[in-house]
Amino acid sequence: MCGIVAFIGSRDASPLLLDGLRKLEYRGYDSAGLATVTIRENEKEGFVTCKRAKGKLVNLVELIEQSGAPGHLGIGHTRWATHGKPEEHNAHPHRDASGDIAVVQNGIIENHNYLRQDLEKQGVSFLSETDTEVIPHLISKELQRLLDLGKLPSGSVLLEAVIEVMKLLEGAYAIAVIWSKTPDSLVVVKKQTPLVIGLGEGEFFCASDMPALTGFTRTILPMEDDEMALLTPLGIELYDVNGQRKNRSPLFLSGVDQVIDKQNFRHFMLKEIHEQPDTAELWVSRYLSNDLETGAFLGGPYDAPIFESIEEIQILACGTSRHAGMVGAYLLEQFAGIRTSVFFASEFRYAPPPLSPNTLTIGVTQSGETADTLAALAMEHQRRTSLNNIEFASLQLGITNCPESSLALQVSNILDIGAGIEVGVAATKTFLGQLLAFYGLAINIAARRKSRSRTEIRNLCRELKAIPSQIKDLIKNHNQMAESLAHRFADTEDVVFLGRGINYPIALEGALKLKEISYIHAEGYPAGEMKHGPIALLDQRVPVISIATPGVVFEKVLSNAQEAKARDATLIGIGPKIPETEIFDFLLPIPKVSEWASPLLTVIPMQLLSYYIAAQRGLDVDQPRNLAKSVTVE
């Protein structure tokens, strides 16, 4: 989704801003822009240069190469259209009528219509359809008021004006503001949308996402909600919304930089599919390293005694993360014996179920920034606090791939899946990491509650230990198979994915992956539901991909597949190569494992097949149209 980068120091700002924006490209955007401030020789005041371009960043780069954007202070933005089409006039930065104030914004200004009408009544003309454009006009008016009172242009006056304007803005947003009259001041604001300050030597950065700071600095100050900062080449001043000074020490990021490198892969998505054995290996070494024979099943960092008293679990997530949550719920209920519900975070926040006692709330978000998930968790925290369910208000667990994200600031127990940066918009390795986190939780709870015997738990752990090498072999064997099968989808317009039980969410995930990157219409269905409606869609033009792994519903899945075959659909199976799976026209074989462990393998051929179908169509696999890597607006 939209990305912000800002810089102040003694170096040329525009190359640094472009570099930062390049590192945010993977998040998805449809236009880009930057604005700088510099002073002309013999003049006291500066001037703003603003450049914007529709489409990919390369268009902006060309523009700046042609006409330049001088200055040691600047703000940059990649925009993912919400209000107004992806056109140059809607790209950020936006400016006031004089062009002296430039603003970039991530998020949504919910009352922008009202503010716009009010400004129009005062004679302001708007040049864009965006919600953001109200901000520079409002700041301009406020600055004029302050100057009329006799105040002189300074960073503090700019800050004062922004504080006043914040009082008028409703919504969740992060903004960065520059003013031609203060060429040594940058004001940034965070309200429920991520923003992090980076501290260099005599220079400062600000970005919506950590990857934008890679290579610039490892010393960071993540901003908190309702916080603002005045950045000058001399330092950072942190304030609350009332203008009261705040103090907080920066953090130093240890570990290796998250390098965004495609290596020799054609797309990041393919690279990330290939990284899954490492994701699984890391989890096994972190959480299953115990000697299984002792019965000390770890499965995750759940030491708090309160975990003993959990009676129910609710999982809040969106998209792929919700599918991981659905597999998790199956494991938690069927393996660990604890009642578990999964919710679309976007629905939960407005229609939560009645409160249940002793409930653990889990938020699953690979980015840790998904607005709906964060808001649903916050709402649940607030709801339990106000009803004096304090202990369980705070008992929230976040499962994420980004332990420095907003989720980690909000939720006290964090399980880092450690998959490394995922650049492809379509989640692959982070999905696997989320699944493994749920296996750990289910094992842990089953062991605590003794809902499974030691032998059953030990057997599952043994299977999980073998998963990294099984995934590795699967990827090796399926690469070519999926690639050649993908050719058969050249003219396909609809695909149905079927699964049951623990593999039903994998059918949903298969359909989501395919539609996201290939734009083919796909439905994931629990196989038994087909005959209640969707079977009407089937004919020889609609391939049916059916997950069939031995277990409680194996025979049922096979007979549901037969029903599809009788309607002339091409049947593709994902399951072990055994006589029963000979009914499929094509089989993408997986090793024979228990039904419990099967989703960790059935998802791999799904990912590869979707990838090759999209790649063969020549589509932008890593940045599919209309999608963003982290969805920071509601």
Which position among 23, 181, 191, 629 bears the catalytic label?
629
Distance, CA of 349 to chain centre: 18
Least Å distance between CB 600 and ligand AGP?
17
2 is catalytic: yes
Q: Which stretch binds ligand AGP (CB under 6 A): 174-182, 258-266, 315-323, 377-385?
A: 315-323
CB of 566 to ligand AGP, least distance (A): 33
Query: Torsions phi, psi of 95, nearest 5?
Result: -125, 165
Picking from 398, 463, 8, the residue whose alpha carbon sits closest to that of residue 198 is 8
* Residue 553 C-beta-side C-alpha neighbours within 13 Å: 19
Of the candidate residues 159, 186, 318, 606, the single one contacting ligand AGP (CB under 6 A): 318
Stretch that binds ligand AGP, among 193-201, 270-278, 319-327, 539-547 (CB under 6 A): 319-327
CB of 260 to ligand AGP, least distance (A): 17
Q: Are 178 and 74 in contact (CB under 8 A)?
A: yes
Identify which range of 161-169, 262-270, 361-369, 595-603 contacts ligand AGP by CB under 6 A: 361-369
Pairwise CA distance, residues 221 & 471, whole Å: 38
Whole-angstrom Cα distance, residue 568 to residue 93?
Answer: 54
If binding means CB under 6 A, how many residues of this protein chain bind ligand AGP?
Answer: 15
302/224 Cα distance (integer angstroms): 26
Which lies closer to ligand AGP via its Cβ, residue 157 or residue 419?
A: 419
Closest residue to ligand AGP, judged by C-beta, is 319
Q: From the list 130, 321, 410, 518, which residue makes contact with ligand AGP (rule: CB under 6 A)?
A: 321
By the rule CB under 6 A, 365 interacts with ligand AGP: yes
Residues 6+ apart with CB under 8 A from 457: 295, 297, 443, 446, 447
What is the x/- site pattern for ligand AGP, positions 423-462, by CB under 6 A? Answer: --xxx-----------------------------------
Least separation in angstroms between CB 400 and ligand AGP: 8
Q: How far is the CB of 267 from ligand AGP (least distance, A)?
A: 14
Which CB sits closer to ligand AGP, 239 or 497?
Answer: 497
Nearer Cβ to ligand AGP (1/48): 1
Stretch that binds ligand AGP, among 275-283, 367-375, 456-464, 468-476 (CB under 6 A): 367-375
Catalytic residue among 2, 50, 206, 461: 2
H/E stretch holding 458: helix 454-486
In the complex, least distance from residue 515 CB atom to ligand AGP, rounded to whole angstroms: 10
> Which of the 8 DSSP states describes residue 334?
I
- Tell the smallest beta-carbon distance from residue 624 to ligand AGP (Å): 8
- Candidates 74, 299, 319, 589; binder of ligand AGP (CB under 6 A) is 319
Other CB atoms within 10 Å distance of the CB of residue 513: 29
Q: Does 373 bind ligand AGP (CB under 6 A)?
A: yes
Sign for the CA dihedral angle at 29, 265, 474, 556 comes to: positive
Q: Please name the residues in contact with 180: beta carbons below 8 A apart, sequence gap of 6 or more.
A: 37, 45, 46, 47, 48, 99, 100, 101
Task: Confirm if 102 and 50 have CB atoms less than 8 A apart.
Answer: yes
Which residues in the 527-556 window bind ligand AGP by CB under 6 A?
Answer: none
- Between 228 and 364, CB nearer to ligand AGP: 364
User: Which among 132-140, 202-210, 421-429, 540-548 is the span making contact with ligand AGP, rule CB under 6 A?
Assistant: 421-429
Asked if 629 is an active-site residue, the reply is: yes
Reported as half-sphere exposure (CB side, CA atoms, 13 A), residue 600 has a value of 33
Q: Which of 314, 367, 518, 598 binds ligand AGP (CB under 6 A)?
A: 367
Instruction: Report the alpha-carbon distance of residue 280 to residue 429 in Å, rounded.
Output: 9
Instruction: Name the minimum Å distance from CB 434 to ligand AGP.
Output: 8
- Output the DSSP codes for 366-423: SSS--HHHHHHHHHHHHHHHHTT-HHHHH-EEEEES-TTSHHHHH-SEEEE-------
* Residue 366 in the binding site for ligand AGP (CB under 6 A): yes
* Residue in 6, 631, 632, 633 binding ligand AGP, rule: CB under 6 A: 631
**Of 371, 408, 74, which is closest to residue 224 (Cα–Cα)?**
408
Question: Which residue of 516, 547, 574, 612 would you call a contact of ligand AGP, by CB under 6 A?
Answer: 516
Of positions 106, 314, 359, 370, contacts ligand AGP by CB under 6 A: 370
* Structure-token pair, residue 560: 């549901």
CB of 318 to ligand AGP, least distance (A): 4
Angle between helices 454-486 and 276-287 (to 10 degrees): 170
Segment lying near ligand AGP (by CB under 6 A), choices 119-127, 139-147, 251-259, 318-326 = 318-326
What are the C-alpha distances in Å from 56 to residues 86, 91, 127, 262? Answer: 11, 12, 22, 18
N- to C-terminal Cα separation, the chain: 12
Shortest distance, CB of residue 420 to ligand AGP, whole angstroms?
15
What are the φ/ψ torsions at residue 12 (nearest 5 degrees)?
Answer: -65, 125
For every residue of 262-306, DSSP letters joined together read: -TT-SSHHHHHHHTHHHHHHHHHHHHS-S-GGGT----SS---GG
Residues that bind ligand AGP (CB under 6 A): 318-321, 365-367, 370, 373, 425-427, 516, 630-631
Active-site residues, by number, are 2, 629
